[in-house]
Structure 1
Amino acid sequence: MFYAVLAYHVENTVQSWTPDEDAALMKDLLDVNTKLTREGKLGPAARLGPTAEAVTLRGPADAMVIDGPFAETKEQLLGLYVLNCASLDEAIAAARDLKRVNPTAVYEIRPIMLYKPGAALPAG
């Protein structure tokens, strides 16, 4: 079963980190990614760009483009992982590894009802 692990955080907090603080956290997260890859569980993972650069499509038909994500939460969705785990408990265990190295983040684990891998992204 595939699970999406959605990583939420207070964006202003993340943006306040020094480059060294950010690099240290990313190193720790990449260590978890390496472990999950070795276990054959990790699919695509992404760190999303700033919400100030996001747009939302809202409304019928072609929809209207609105600036921003307009999430009504304190935290913003800043990244995601796709995991291939045998059970929800296994996906939760993997998300706990991420939480240990990024304790101020919030991780939502959600089953993916349909997963269709797309074409490989170009390098760079």
Structure 2
Amino acid sequence: MRGGGAIVNVSTTAAAFGVAGLALYGSSKAAVVLMTEAWAAEYGPRGVRVNAVRPGAVRTEGPAGMGEHLDVLAAQAPVCRPAEPEEIAEAIAYLADDAASFVQGVPLPVDGGRTAVC
């Protein structure tokens, strides 16, 4: 039987708690979390690990139009700043790597502690 590998989906912290104005975005990303968990159950027995990262505020071109609001959101996390894209990429690389061989079906918060203190 062929199998193995890793799938890493990308969700958001807006999938973990309500954020005004982000109902559609948050609910679609919550679906990504449920899909991750279902795929873990479905593909795990075939040796495929399926996980997700749930980034918080990240300084990229996408939210650049938010201006200072991005910093306000990021200040709600214990680290008090937005993530750099490389920090999210490192979490994705970890979940894709064999170092995470026993991690399965996890929506990993990479949000500076935001969901821990929400």
Higher relative contact order (CA 8 A, sep 6+): 1
> Could you tell me the TM-score, scaled by structure 2's length?
0.33
Greater fraction strand: 1
